[in-house]
Structure 1
């Protein structure tokens, strides 16, 4: 009898283990797999700067000649053309500006500039340098010289561009004298792209 109880108990235990075994299968939770995130790399979208443009500019100028200086507002119009070579842009621009700068009693009436532009295409932004010739008309005479500077344009839309430009001007005989004239101008610009 004792043997029968032991066998029955053993059989019952095996049955319980056999029945419980499927409930244990797969119950061990595996660690969740974390998604692999690729690093975010900014993509610079190239914008085609090829084409003509025209616009207006308004800014501030400082002038110095023979130890005298003056400053005032400057503003005018410009027209130009760029050609985009991929990462680099080359172009030319002509601008005409009126001025209310006066240097030692000599009024600076207007400045004309013919500039070559070379820039880097940074997508919607164009960072550029300029160099060229400049002519100034004053109440005491006219003079010609050179101009160089830096600027940046930003395409707000395909047709509208906002920008800023710094220019340095040098004139050998400012206002008809033997004195050198130096001008610095800072302008905000808006243009329409054709």
Structure 2
């Protein structure tokens, strides 16, 4: 081996440790688990609180009898009357939703217990020239009492990540009492219980927003309009006012606004 070769080998041996020292191991990269995508698919149960509004409108229906006809013409029994009321409500819901792409479709049933009792009334003096009735105070009252309201609805909406905007509509069922009453204090007269109490059917439409706080828990805000069957209250007192009769038709509709939480599983 020549001297030149020996010097070249020595140089390589001396450079190798320095080159190895310059080599560094890369830092390990932390693996961050990916968050599961938000999905609105699943069965849901929920609860809500809110308020309901109704104007409790009553419209004059069929009537007969000379005295009643005169009272109607004198304005003692109005053609139409209403007086709005707002009451609190609370309830529960169950349902199922399925998400396909960005769209969400589902069905939901709920029941609300309400404190909604719109009342209207007139307090007038009778202009009847007959001395028996002239200037006699005549008081009429009209009342609607909604105690419970249930709905069975379809829902269809569009999801924007955690937020769902949807429209809804379907069947509405309510327990409603409508009442008409007449009082004539000078005669000591208070009418019998002219009322109807029944389970009424109709429709409901509306919309809302649902936001996923977590995959399982959602916050909801919803507005609904319901329209139940109209009812008729027939009024007659054959003992005190023989041959006289009158009726009023009641509109049983209103608006609901509510917020609540839902759990998906």
Q: What is the root-mean-square deviation in Å for CA atoms of aligned residues? A: 1.8
1:59 paired residue number: 50
Q: State whether residues 56 and 144 of structure 2, in contact with CA within 8 Å, keep that contact through their aligned partners in structure 1.
A: no
Query: CA 1:174–1:126 in structure 2 vs 1: closer, same or farther (change >3 Å)?
Result: farther
1:99 paired residue number: 114
Q: State whether residues 225 and 253 of structure 2, in contact with CA within 8 Å, keep that contact through their aligned partners in structure 1.
A: yes
Give the TM-score normalised by the residue count of structure 2.
0.54
Q: State whether residues 38 and 215 of structure 2, in contact with CA within 8 Å, keep that contact through their aligned partners in structure 1.
A: no
Runs of 4+ in 1 over 6 A off after TM superposition: none
State the shift of 1:174 in Å: 4.8
State the shift of 1:73 in Å: 0.2
2:149 paired residue number: 111
Aligned-partner SS, 1:47: coil
Q: State whether residues 143 and 175 of structure 1, in contact with CA within 8 Å, keep that contact through their aligned partners in structure 2.
A: no
**Following the alignment from structure 2 to structure 1, what is the Cα–Cα distance between the partners of residues 208 and 102?**
17
Query: CA 1:174–1:85 in structure 2 vs 1: closer, same or farther (change >3 Å)?
Result: farther
For 1:5-35, what per-residue CA distance to the aligned partner results, in whole angstroms no more than 9, with x for missing partners?
A: xxxxxxxxxxxxxxxxxxxxxxxxxxxxxxx
State the shift of 1:90 in Å: 0.4
Query: CA 1:119–1:65 in structure 2 vs 1: closer, same or farther (change >3 Å)?
Result: same
**Following the alignment from structure 1 to structure 2, what is the Cα–Cα distance between the partners of residues 168 and 110?**
15
Q: Residues 17-36 of structure 1: matches in 2 within 5 Å?
A: none
Given the alignment of the two structures, is residue 121 of structure 1 paired with residue 178 of structure 2, yes or no? Answer: no
State the shift of 1:59 in Å: 0.2
Given the alignment of the two structures, is residue 190 of structure 1 paired with residue 261 of structure 2, yes or no? Answer: yes
Higher RCO (C-alpha 8 Å, min separation 6): 2
Q: State whether residues 146 and 169 of structure 1, in contact with CA within 8 Å, keep that contact through their aligned partners in structure 2.
A: yes
Given the alignment of the two structures, is residue 144 of structure 1 paired with residue 201 of structure 2, yes or no? Answer: yes
**Following the alignment from structure 1 to structure 2, what is the Cα–Cα distance between the partners of residues 46 and 164?**
23
Given the alignment of the two structures, is residue 165 of structure 1 paired with residue 222 of structure 2, yes or no? Answer: yes
Residues 133-142 or 79-88, more deviating? 133-142
Q: State whether residues 127 and 153 of structure 1, in contact with CA within 8 Å, keep that contact through their aligned partners in structure 2.
A: yes
State the shift of 1:71 in Å: 1.3
State the shift of 1:68 in Å: 3.4
State the shift of 1:70 in Å: 1.6
- Work out the number of aligned pairs and report it: 150
Aligned-partner SS, 1:172: strand
**Following the alignment from structure 1 to structure 2, what is the Cα–Cα distance between the partners of residues 168 and 153?**
18
Structure 2 residue runs of 5 or longer lacking an equivalent are 1-35, 58-81, 120-142, 178-196, 234-247
2:211 paired residue number: 154
Given the alignment of the two structures, is residue 130 of structure 1 paired with residue 145 of structure 2, yes or no? Answer: no
State the shift of 1:106 in Å: 2.9
